Structure 1
Amino acid sequence: MWGSGHGRDAGTVTAEFAVVLPAVLLVLACCLGAVQVVSQQVRLTDAAGDAARLLARGETAGQVADLVRRSVDGARLATERRGEFVCARLSAPAAFGPYAAFGLTVAAESCALAGPAGRGPSP
Structure 2
Amino acid sequence: MFAALRVDERGTVTAEFAIVVPAVLAVLALVVAGIYLAAHRITLVSVAGEIARHEARGDVDIAQQSVAALGGRVEVARADEGALHCVTLRSRPARGPLAHVTVESRACAARTGEGDLQ
| In 2: Cα distance, 1:84 partner to 1:64 partner | 19
The answer to whether residue 7 in structure 2 is matched with residue 10 in structure 1 is: no
Amino acid at match of 1:94: P
Q: Which stretch of structure 1 is more off in the superposition, 15-24 or 68-77?
A: 68-77
Task: Find the aligned partners of 1:34 and 1:65 in 2 and give their Cα distance.
Answer: 29
Q: Could you tell me how far 1:5 is from its partner in structure 2?
A: 8.2
In structure 1, C-alpha distance between the alignment counterparts of 2:45 and 2:115, rounded to whole Å: 22
The reply on whether 1:85 has 2:80 as its aligned counterpart is no
Q: Secondary structure at the match of 1:88?
A: strand
1:15-54 Cα shifts (integer Å, max 9, x gaps): 1101110111011011111100000000000000000001
Structure 1 residue runs of 5 or longer lacking an equivalent are none
Cα distance, 1:59 vs structure 2? 2.7
C-alpha contact (below 8 Å) 1:57/1:120 kept by paired residues: no
Q: Closer, same or farther in 2 for the Cα pair 1:93/1:121, shift >3 Å?
A: farther
1:47 aligns to 2:47 (yes or no): yes
- Separation in structure 2 between the aligned mates of residue 46 and residue 121 of structure 1, nearest angstrom: 26
Mean alpha-carbon deviation: is it higher for 18-27 or for 69-78? 69-78
What is the RMSD of the two structures over their aligned residues, measured on CA atoms?
2.6
- Judged with a 3 Å threshold, the aligned counterparts in structure 2 of structure 1 residues 105 and 8 are, in CA distance, closer, same or farther, namely same
The answer to whether the Cα contact below 8 Å between 2:75 and 2:90 also exists between their aligned partners in 1 is yes
Percent identity, please.
33
What stretches of structure 2 of length at least 5 have no aligned partner? none
2:89 pairs with 1:74:
no
Rounded to whole Å, the distance in 2 between the matches of 1:120 and 1:107 is 33
Post-superposition Cα deviations, 1:52-94, rounded to whole Å, max 9, x if no partner, equal 001111133x762442231466211111101111011001003
- Structure with more of its chain in helix, by fraction: 1
Distance 1:68 1:121, change over 3 A: farther
1:106 matched to 2:99: no
**Which whole-Å CA distance do the structure 1 matches of 2:80 and 2:28 have between them?**
43
TM-score, normalised to structure 1, is 0.79
The TM-score normalised by the length of structure 2 is: 0.82
| SS of aligned partner of 1:9 | coil
- What is the number of residues matched between the two proteins? 115
